[in-house]
Amino acid sequence: MPKLETLEVLLIQEIKDLYSAENHLMKALPKMAKAASHPKLQAAFQKHLKETGGHVTRLEEIATLLEGTPRGKACKAMEGLVEEGEEAIKEDGDPAVKDLALIGAAQKVEHYEIASYGTARALAESLGLKEVAALLQSTLDEEGNTDKTLTALAEEITPAAMEKAG
């Protein structure tokens, strides 16, 4: 592993970390869609699964532009977040409450990604790598929209969860 001597090295490390994170998510999202009860939440997870496939491809493109490989790093943070998501998946209980648990787990993932992509984009901008910055921004926009969709769904599902808790 090269030392953190330049911003280029730091950027490629961030890309590797994100690549590992997105690949973890590719495996987790189908399980989350299956565990969700509300059809809109299932659809949101399915939609984000498709987008995540695009995020993986963009990271490969970025690595090529940086003349590096996106492979070779394990994102421990995403492993942990996905593990927590798995706990929500396995949990029994009221479907609306469980949906809210899944949304909570998914939003933690999105916020982590938004932080990581924001850092990577800032590094790319500092280095004058406009194409890389634009690719990262495209993904950042999709992560942000997913987060907003999840917030809206939580607001929609919450009344049903409150009713049953009576």
* Chain residues in the site for Fe ion (CB under 5 A): 52, 55
The answer to whether 120 touches 59, Cβ cutoff 8 Å, is no
Q: Whose Cβ is closer to Fe ion: residue 99's or residue 142's?
A: 142
Q: How far is the CB of 113 from Fe ion (least distance, A)?
A: 5
Q: Whose Cβ is closer to Fe ion: residue 13's or residue 52's?
A: 52
Q: Which residue lies nearest Fe ion, judged by its C-beta? A: 55
Q: Whose Cβ is closer to Fe ion: residue 52's or residue 149's?
A: 52
Q: How far is the CB of 22 from Fe ion (least distance, A)?
A: 5
Q: How far is the CB of 95 from Fe ion (least distance, A)?
A: 26
The answer to whether 145 touches 113, Cβ cutoff 8 Å, is no
Q: Whose Cβ is closer to Fe ion: residue 91's or residue 141's?
A: 141
Report the alpha-carbon distance of residue 26 to residue 23 in Å, rounded.
5
Q: How far is the CB of 25 from Fe ion (least distance, A)?
A: 6
Report the alpha-carbon distance of residue 86 to residue 68 in Å, rounded.
32
Count of residues making up the chain: 166
Q: CA quadruple 94, 95, 98, 104: dihedral positive or negative?
A: negative
